[in-house]
Structure 1
């Protein structure tokens, strides 16, 4: 008596389920245990100084960035000669907005993705004054000097000239 080799007789449905499971398991990966290092040239605090042209604009915003490893926090101080809404929010034409998140460098573009938050880094509630929810901005970067960085938002024509006020070194923190 000749024995046949062991053979699988699997239905097409069983093959489809097994294939899907293998595809699903191979596509999973764990998140890193530490934050990324980010870009060395931006590590620290950067402040935009008011310029003479700002006085001529109807609305202008001054930026203060903090970069720590691959994370950012930005404070945006806006001054406006136009009343866009309730004065309780506009505070006589002066207000601040904040955002935090992660950034990545893609060639000459700094991609910043995160959420609008309060000054204490807590997430901002939707429905309050100004913007809330997702913050996403793309900046073309130009390093003018070791302590001068020019960012140009892809949604604006006005460059943001940032002066380094405090250099820091990335020490990745556990996530």
Structure 2
């Protein structure tokens, strides 16, 4: 049995239209300016201590800077256990840096960026510490205007960060 030509043509037309619609709907232009981010986060936030830090073998303290939709984080780590060469760990104290873009949906803060050098240039040499993509998700609880609690999805110790400097977002072109 042979399929009529008109049926083959309409099936081809339908398939072509379907592929065209899928391609067009999956693409969009990225904005040519940064987005304003969350107004309550704009500024620098410091974690001063960790509950029970004297009893912990390893812990980290965070310093966040949010500018529009960008973030910069320094992570100061402290350890009583020697994880590597002392030239890297400096007697159990070291700092790592990250930068990137953040987004908040409902109560979840999504940070995605790269590990960086001290001057926030992209880190290319692994050296002693982590390199490549930094991705972290936090549940955010705003305690006061100058205190937020960030609960990591990968850790058990919440980060209580206090505002040390407020700034406002001045949107810049990308």
Q: TM-score when scaled to structure 2?
A: 0.87
Report the alpha carbon displacement of residue 60 of structure 1 after superposing the two structures with TM.
Answer: 1.3
Q: Judge conservation of contact 2:46–2:164 (CA < 8 Å) in 1.
A: yes
Report the alpha carbon displacement of residue 40 of structure 1 after superposing the two structures with TM.
Answer: 0.9
Structure 2 gaps of 5+ residues are: 1-5
Deviations 1:116-143 (A, max 9, x none): 1112111112532111111111111111
State the superposition RMSD in angstroms.
Answer: 2.1
Report the alpha carbon displacement of residue 23 of structure 1 after superposing the two structures with TM.
Answer: 3.3
2:29 corresponding residue in structure 1? 30
Alignment of structure 1 residues 26-175 onto 2, 5 Å: 26-51=25-50, 53-175=52-174
Q: Point out the structure with max Rg over C-alpha.
A: 1
**Stretches (4+) displaced over 4 A:** 9-19
Q: Judge conservation of contact 2:50–2:61 (CA < 8 Å) in 1.
A: no
Instruction: Work out the number of aligned pairs and report it.
Output: 168
Deviations 1:89-134 (A, max 9, x none): 1111110001111111121111111111112111112532111111
Q: Judge conservation of contact 2:68–2:171 (CA < 8 Å) in 1.
A: yes
Q: Judge conservation of contact 2:43–2:67 (CA < 8 Å) in 1.
A: yes
Q: TM-score when scaled to structure 1?
A: 0.86
2:3 corresponding residue in structure 1? none
Report the alpha carbon displacement of residue 147 of structure 1 after superposing the two structures with TM.
Answer: 0.8
Report the alpha carbon displacement of residue 15 of structure 1 after superposing the two structures with TM.
Answer: 6.5
